[in-house]
Structure 1
Amino acid sequence: MGTKTRANARYEAIAKMSSRKIRTFNRPEASNGAVMSIPQYFGCNTFGWDLMSQRLPKDDVQELREVSPSRRKLTPELADKVAYAVKEWAIAKGATHYCHWFQPQTGGTAEKHDAFFSFDKSGGAIDHFTGNELMQQEPDASSFPSGGRRSTFEARGYTAWDATSPMFLMETDNGFTLCIPSIFISYSGEHLDEKTPLLRSITTVSDHAKESLELLGEQNFSHVVSNCGPEQEYFVIDRALYELRPDLVLAGRTVLGAMPPKHQQLSDHYFGSIKQRVVNFMMECEHELYKLGVPCKTRHNEVAPSQCESAPIYEFANIAADHNQLTMEIIRQVAKRHDLVALFHEKPYAGMNGSGKHLNWSLATNTGTNLLDPGDKPHENIRFLYFLTATIKAVHDWSKLLRLSVASAGNDFRLGANEAPPAIMSVFLGQTLSSILEQLGSGEDPTPSETEINLDIARIPVIAKDNTDRNRTSPFAFTGNKFEFRALGSSQSISSPIAYLNTAMAQALKEMNDSLRSIAGGNKPSEKQILEVISKTYKSCKAVCFEGDGYSEEWHQEAESRGLPNLKNTPEALQTLLDEKTRKLLIDHEIFGSGEELDARYNVLIERYNMLKMIEFQSLENLVATHVIPSLSQYLGDVAGSYKSVTDVLGDGATKSQKRDLENLNELLQSMSDSHRQLSDFIHSSAETDDEGKLGDDISNKGLEIAQKLEELSAQAEEKIDDMLWTLPKYREMIFSL
């Protein structure tokens, strides 16, 4: 197929996209025909506590609620009762199958479906689902990442019901499947998933936070929970254009492309009016998520054209992690119905804003008291100051661990790229809280700050002023009554970042609690002693606090002088898992069972990084060989033919400009061929490397430089070649076409 024919496919895709009808969907109606409000159908496909209370005895529901915080074992008798109740509900809704829904170390979810079906003693067909089937299932574990801990011929693995997260029904046109949130472990008990470390971290941070509250004289609570709310960013693109970009299909991002004259620089997309096709898609996503009990609250356009964001209401961390996975899955499914594709890669288009996943996080008692809520008088709120200081200490002492938690091939494109926080972990508190802690450290009595903004304009209300401004350049910023961990990548699971953050917080609280007990000498700590620990702790870790511009080069220099680590790429960050200090922390808090489990986790992560980068390199190599070089060669031939024709008629003197253009095009083609050969050589030599750690270093230190040079040359070619000869959809078409 010639380049002109392939370019026609691009134009045909644009024409097809322009003629699409905007999809609508029918909202649920009540029996009287009125459209239901969200609360009327919220969670209708979720087997939550309200539904359990209707279908199970009160004592059984209470026992189930207490399983997690009390560490009580789930009894087979209770499991049988729950299994019967959920089976009856699911079958009545139209479900025929169930599955244990789990999160292997792939960044996504996995499931194996079994039918609610068996035979009775007489051979008759019956609906069948027992407590044993609810509590445990056996998927084949041989092909899931294990980091070398298991051979491929050792296939057995187990999933086990996580009773802290509600079961739900996934709906298709042909019916429902009951999904049972679960953990995933190997035959020998080693975890193979993202959820097990998260659940363990929730327990350890609860234990140490509970000790803190008891030392502070707090009562009337049984345990502490971590709460989260991840803001999900993503791009959308028309399916016809997506299918003409092999790099998007295979690598999730464009590995080459020239920036159009207009993209995001006018700031006219951020929070702008959402285009009808996109808002219809977003509304249908929300409708599906509400049925699953996912509390999505906010939608808006993001900075770049065709970039969107959805944000939920805060909820229990484990459920938030499950709900974020569901959110990404529903967005993908609904996008197909609208002839769209959702792109969750952190950097699908070079040169434009990337996509992150800001993770809002705090701790609260089971009675609903937010431990990071400063209240009206933060300078007098000792509980708040204690937990605030512990959080600062957690980030200071374990900044490498938090950097590790957001390390990925895609996120390396964002961090420090003047659109996302730098790779240096720091804490932003805002002027008010910084002043309070500094005053405590110097022995002064903290003073309150201004709490209102009065514009003195008729009909404009007085505006309540938060204790902090927002600092979008900070990776870990206090935002009123919680922290916002802004460094997460849009495609990643939030389970590991929460798990590592909870663990760092547990250790910080442990050390502060030990210090407080030592000062109090076995007595009830006084207010003065508590403030002394707060002040001493803040002084020891305030180097991590930074109020300025995290994008500036001056901050990088200052951070180095403060001794703050700057792990600039994923292979460097992953070395943290091999550090003895980190390993001791994670094993002492029982997040991981052994050093061998940590070695396996490192192997999984470095192998994944290497595989993703090699997919990108191979996609770039292929596109340049099969699209860019052929288009450039044909254009060069067309220009050469034109030059010869003009020269034959007018002579050499009339074609100096054309000759320079021809020479420049030929030089570009030669440079591209040379660069393409270098990338091919790197790919082939990398295939011979058995050491994944060395390969990761080679990719980040050498491979990326070669690929970037080839990308730059491809962009130059795209800007010079006749548009009718360019075969790949261009940025201007992909981002402005909806």
Structure 2
Amino acid sequence: MSFAGTRRTKLIEGIDNRVPVASEAFDSAENLTELYDSDTYGLNAMRETLPSHCYKKIREVISTGQPLDPAIADMVANGMKEWAIKRGATHYTHWFQPLNGLVAEKHDAFVSIFPGDDRLLLEFSGMQLIKGEPDASSFPNGGIRSTWEARGYTVWDATSPAFIRKDQNGSTLCIPTAFCSWTGEALDQKTPLLRSMERVSEESLAVLSSIFKENYKRISPTLGIEQEFFLIDRSFYLSRPDLITCGRTLIGAKPPKGQEMEDHYFGTMNSRIVACIQDVEWQMWKLGMPLKTRHNEVAPGQYEVAPIFERANVASDHNMLLMDVLKSTATRHGLICLLHEKPFDYVNGSGKHNNYSLSTDTGVNLLEPGSTPAQNARFILFLTAIIRAVDIHADLLRASVANPGNEHRLGANEAPPAIISIYLGQELDRVVNDIVHSTETEANGDCNGEKMSLGVGAFPPLPKDSTDRNRTSPFAFTGNKFEFRAVGSSQVVAFPCIILNTIVAESLQYIRKEIEREKTNNVAANTAFNNVIKRVLSLHQRVIFNGDGYGQEWRDIAAKRGLANMRTTPEALATLNSEKNIKLFESFNILSPIELQSRQHILYEIYVKSITIEAKSMYDMVSTLVLPAAFKHQKNVADSLNAIMPFVQGQKNLPQPTAQIAVLTDLVTAINSLSDLNVKLLAAVKATKSAANEKDHAFMLSTSVIPAMREVRRVSDHLETIIDDTIWPLPKYSEILFLR
């Protein structure tokens, strides 16, 4: 750590003098229930502002997902406007999620001109609520729209509540919407998410009705999203060009201490951090997000917050809001929130664990092991469908989490490997094995010492929470849900959820039809059920792995089982528009071939731009910061050597200055190597411009530029460890990660 009068020292002194910023003036915890959801136009606000008949209709729309009756649209719009104005809103915006990983807004004032007068009139119509028309020409669209084709539409998602966003300059009413082109193609994440939710609901309802004689109105996929992130002092951030430009450090030597002592995980939270996260919590509570958990994560400077489960589209919207609030609130507290998957080497990166389940409109969790034989037969069917879905469509799940940041994280000590597998735990794994290897018609087995039969009427209770948790598995069963751990911390959760909903819907449909086909051959219902479940599990059991996913042993086992290991982002994205996947999305009306192709193109484009920006940023940092510092230190060592040499040469008894000679040799060698490698890096970047398309460009960057960046970093990081600390120009890991 630097103690000389350098810029870095002044930064450290400034941090040492910081005090926690006072949070916004919030009421006490005893008023939380009243404040919760107060900035959201949810059912409570609707009940207070809408006529009773209108409230009943909009409530039905929210619970069933049916279209809003245009006859009540004006009443809803007026109620929403009056509610928003009372909370200081002067503008409204259709809040949507284009395909750039961010949210988009175009603000319009409520104002209009009073007819025949110059006075302002505050108005908001049903048509303005339901439909908007932002410019669609400048968002990523993957070739769906030309630059001159600017028309696009936003359409209100009534199932996700409108909300108020407040800042120092006022408040805005934000209306969650879908975003599509003039010709009807989805240009966002929300539209296919809603489509996929409908499909998995339809297929779940069909299974429950035809096989179990259970009738519900709607099945909703639910998500509980654990959000990991880093908080660092803003002064350090502003002194690191790589953090500003790329969101991660491109160079930086391993600190003497990282996370080896395991003292940060669940440790006592720093007061500045607590003040910041408390501020975030109160804002999100007012916005209706049920944040419940906060704690220190494994890496120094890393934290996590997590909510209670919500309907998938609402959870997705809330997570987008959360990331925005985390960033803006951190800045107000003199901090920066880093959502990149791997902002620092040598310590854990950040994920966004998606806890996925399916819930009925009456609150029944279909992935909850039950207390009756029928409930557990239902559980086994949905479990079997998910096992099949993950095995057949592992390529899609891997593609759904493929981005430049996750490429640095997947397979490291804190993240699951790039091989997609399922963890069930010992008890459920034994149940599956018993079913697969049973030779009897009714598939006998043993569970906790009890004889069981897979017949719907004779299936015994299954244990709940009888498994350990496996952090090395990308898709782990955790008692009553599956935890998709491979999702990256910066990602929009909608896309992985679209994939999950679609593949689960397809598997449910397949199993239902197979059971119905067996029954047409005069096979008893229980026997048909048993036969299909056993057959499906036998075919797809290979995807189940309950061991350590980090070791080479698993990679060898996975290869023997025929499971893919797509380590890089370009490899994973190449599978997205395969014939199998095009057919899948098209048959369920989730994504048309052109919509799927556009997403692949955009993801390649994001990868290409990200890696190119990182490589150019690294070249600039090495050229303008690292090498000049190295030259300065080289001169100092050379001057020291020159100063002592006359005395050494004039005195026979003086020892040779081997220390200076060794340091200077090391310096000159490293400087020459770094300079050469940096030139080669820039040449490699330029060479990729010859690529014929974005896919080829991505593969060229992956195979040539990224290895070149690793070599540049290796030598640069070595120089950081030998250059005079008062000369080194960049904040070091030991400072960024530990000083608050």
The residue identity in structure 2 corresponding to 1:567 is: M
Q: Partner residue of 1:345?
A: 340
* 2:203 matches 1:216: no
Correspondence 1:183-202 to 2 at 5 A = 183-202=178-197
User: 1-side partners of 2:63 and 2:561: how far apart?
Assistant: 40
**Aligned CA distance change for structure 1 residues 522 and 276 (closer, same or farther; 3 Å):** farther
* 2:540 matches 1:541: yes
CA contact (8 A) 2:26 2:282 kept: no
User: 1-side partners of 2:535 and 2:521: how far apart?
Assistant: 20
Q: Partner residue of 2:456?
A: none
Deviation digits for residues 93-149 of structure 1 (CA, Å, limit 9, x no counterpart) = 111000000001111111000001001212221101001100111111111001122
Q: Partner residue of 1:421?
A: 416
CA contact (8 A) 2:255 2:733 kept: yes
Q: Partner residue of 2:460?
A: none
CA contact (8 A) 1:227 1:362 kept: yes
**Aligned CA distance change for structure 1 residues 214 and 220 (closer, same or farther; 3 Å):** closer
Offset, 1:642: 0.5
Which deviates further from its counterpart, 199-208 or 436-445?
A: 436-445
User: 1-side partners of 2:101 and 2:729: how far apart?
Assistant: 32
Offset, 1:218: 3.5
Offset, 1:578: 2.4
Which deviates further from its counterpart, 375-384 or 9-18?
A: 375-384
Deviation digits for residues 140-193 of structure 1 (CA, Å, limit 9, x no counterpart) = 111100112222122111111111100000011232100000011112111111
Offset, 1:715: 0.6
Equivalent of 1:278, from 266, 273, 286?
A: 273
Offset, 1:90: 0.4
Offset, 1:604: 0.6
Q: Partner residue of 2:136?
A: 141
SS class of match (1:736): coil
Equivalent of 1:118, from 112, 123, 134?
A: 112
Correspondence 1:510-659 to 2 at 5 A = 510-521=509-520, 526-593=525-592, 595-651=593-649, 654-659=656-661
User: 2-side partners of 1:691 and 1:46: how far apart?
Assistant: 45
User: 2-side partners of 1:380 and 1:253: how far apart?
Assistant: 48
Correspondence 1:665-684 to 2 at 5 A = 665-684=667-686
Which deviates further from its counterpart, 149-158 or 102-111?
A: 149-158
SS class of match (2:717): helix
The residue identity in structure 2 corresponding to 1:549 is: D
User: 1-side partners of 2:65 and 2:286: how far apart?
Assistant: 30
Offset, 1:418: 2.4
User: 2-side partners of 1:39 and 1:6: how far apart?
Assistant: 52
CA contact (8 A) 2:641 2:661 kept: yes
Q: Partner residue of 1:11?
A: 9
Equivalent of 1:45, from 39, 48, 51?
A: 39
Correspondence 1:221-620 to 2 at 5 A = 221-376=216-371, 381-443=376-438, 444-449=443-448, 466-521=465-520, 526-593=525-592, 595-620=593-618
**Aligned CA distance change for structure 1 residues 73 and 523 (closer, same or farther; 3 Å):** farther
Which deviates further from its counterpart, 717-726 or 521-530?
A: 521-530
The residue identity in structure 1 corresponding to 2:532 is: V
Q: Partner residue of 2:85?
A: 91
TM-score normalised by L of structure 1:
0.94
User: 2-side partners of 1:378 and 1:246: how far apart?
Assistant: 61
User: 2-side partners of 1:144 and 1:69: how far apart?
Assistant: 32
SS class of match (1:232): strand
User: 2-side partners of 1:535 and 1:127: how far apart?
Assistant: 64
TM-score normalised by L of structure 2:
0.94
User: 2-side partners of 1:213 and 1:705: how far apart?
Assistant: 52
Q: Partner residue of 1:457?
A: none
User: 1-side partners of 2:29 and 2:497: how far apart?
Assistant: 38
The residue identity in structure 2 corresponding to 1:441 is: V
SS class of match (2:298): coil
User: 2-side partners of 1:46 and 1:11: how far apart?
Assistant: 45
Which deviates further from its counterpart, 677-686 or 552-561?
A: 677-686
The residue identity in structure 2 corresponding to 1:537 is: V
The residue identity in structure 2 corresponding to 1:530 is: F
User: 1-side partners of 2:506 and 2:649: how far apart?
Assistant: 81
User: 1-side partners of 2:60 and 2:279: how far apart?
Assistant: 36
**Aligned CA distance change for structure 1 residues 379 and 190 (closer, same or farther; 3 Å):** closer
Offset, 1:524: 10
RMSD of Structure 2 on Structure 1 (CA): 2.0
User: 1-side partners of 2:464 and 2:295: how far apart?
Assistant: 23
**Aligned CA distance change for structure 1 residues 170 and 511 (closer, same or farther; 3 Å):** same
**Aligned CA distance change for structure 1 residues 516 and 69 (closer, same or farther; 3 Å):** farther
The residue identity in structure 1 corresponding to 2:541 is: K
User: 2-side partners of 1:81 and 1:603: how far apart?
Assistant: 42
Q: Partner residue of 2:455?
A: none
**Aligned CA distance change for structure 1 residues 408 and 378 (closer, same or farther; 3 Å):** farther
User: 2-side partners of 1:559 and 1:269: how far apart?
Assistant: 33
**Aligned CA distance change for structure 1 residues 610 and 378 (closer, same or farther; 3 Å):** farther
SS class of match (1:362): strand
User: 2-side partners of 1:525 and 1:23: how far apart?
Assistant: 69
User: 2-side partners of 1:25 and 1:602: how far apart?
Assistant: 42
Which deviates further from its counterpart, 696-705 or 527-536?
A: 527-536
SS class of match (1:543): helix
Deviation digits for residues 520-567 of structure 1 (CA, Å, limit 9, x no counterpart) = 129896233222221111111000000101001011111111111111
